[in-house]
Structure 1
Amino acid sequence: MASLYIVSMIFVLCLRSIEYGRGDEAGQEEKDKRLLISDPQVFQAQLEEMQRRIQALEARGNEQQVSQGAVYTIWGKKGCPTVTGTKTIYSGITGGGMFDQTGNGVTTLCLPHDPEALPADFPTHTDAYPYAAYIFGAEYQFGYKNVDVNDDVPCAVCHAQTSASVLMIPAKRTCPGDWKMQYNGFLSAERYDHTGADYICVALYGDYFEGTRGVNADGRLIFPVRAKCGSLPCPPYTENQYVSCVVCTK
């Protein structure tokens, strides 16, 4: 946008030059030239004013971009990290397809605690009643710190208000350059011999839901991911080493 403004300003200056050249008073152009030569402060002031306008326009564009923010989901936590400018949009329940069913969806979702139902008459009919796709909750399949096998997995959807981009980097625990870390953890997916699901970054020090501890209801199962050498080069990777991850914003 700033580039367009610069081009517009140059175009306006060019038009003014043409107007001076076509003026009825032959001495006007010479007068303007003499003014700029004899008083360079006038020319300098015009340049500084143009620069101020360009900077103001760039700042306004950056503010508009940042005001939109970046949205991401933190898996394994009931709320968003205490990072400056990051707010919790809602907290929820990690959900996905059943580990041993070949249908449903492969994307892991953060389901809100206060679902809103569709109209009672939806749908009027289906093509293959009573078949449907289903979504289930999720369970940890390991123990570490606060969580244990079969604990249900929380989640939260976060708004990084001062950022415009969000990035999950596998196999890293720190963010590059001037990117800001939101959280780090471990890479997770379904077990290798289960129905596939997406790779997600689960917070290292996870939370769980009270009242459902140790209840084996299955659903979307949260397994840590290990590296396998071959097409994945070792080193730098290590056979069967658990893979870290980090979520960054900028």
Structure 2
Amino acid sequence: VTSGICSAFAIVITCIRLYMRRDRFWWDDACAFLSMIFLFVQIVSVFMHVPNPRVLSHMDNIAAYYLMAATFYAIIWTARLAILYSVIRIDPDPRTRRILHRIAIIFIVILLIMIAQVLWVCEPMHDWKNAASPQCPLNKQVAICQLVTDILSDGLLIYAPLRLIWGMDAIDGTRRRLMIIFSTCIVTTIVSLVHAAFILTDGGIRVVIAAIVEDTFSLIVCNIPVVVTAIMRKYGKNEEESDHARQS
């Protein structure tokens, strides 16, 4: 239920974003689209694994778990890449843009490492694979790595737009977008803290639920700046046209 409701909202807002950006499609939109595709894969793996694991073979259940784990990281980090590329797209400083491009590469490397970490932590352990609904008991190593990378990356995604805000006029539409990015990234950090806490306390199914919520929030957050800014721009334009009509 959690997966269906949260994912549906995230997918809808992503589709709205892609529709609004259809004439100006860029890397940030591509990353948001890719994150949505990973979310579709995760939905399939969740409904394969959680509701009735006896429907699948033992190996299929294990594969479904690994698929859930891999798509968890893929959704989050491609969503972060979408935010990062949104900042790159609107940053006028070529030097800063080059730095942020390099950070994007680091994000991709972190994604691959986090997925690999699940394998090297879970594969040596065999007991969890014998459960009816296999779920690897992730250790403190995973929780700490996830927590550190989440805080650092989200902190960067807060700082990057913040440094631009200081030099902008209050009426600048770009500043509104950056303020939205600044505020919404904090939500992802809070959710990731809850997820890490469940991992540390061996939360069982709560780990899966928290992961789904974190995924969907990450995808929603990366779309909010684009969608809200487009709505504000359209609303402002309509207001301006109404003012002109009244003056005429």
Task: Please classify the TM superposition score into its range, dividing by the shorter chain length.
Answer: under 0.3
Structure exhibiting the larger radius of gyration computed from Cα positions: 1
Higher helix share: 2
Structure having the higher strand fraction is 1
Q: What's the TM-score, normalizing by structure 2?
A: 0.24
Structure scoring higher RCO (CA < 8 A, sep ≥ 6) equals 2
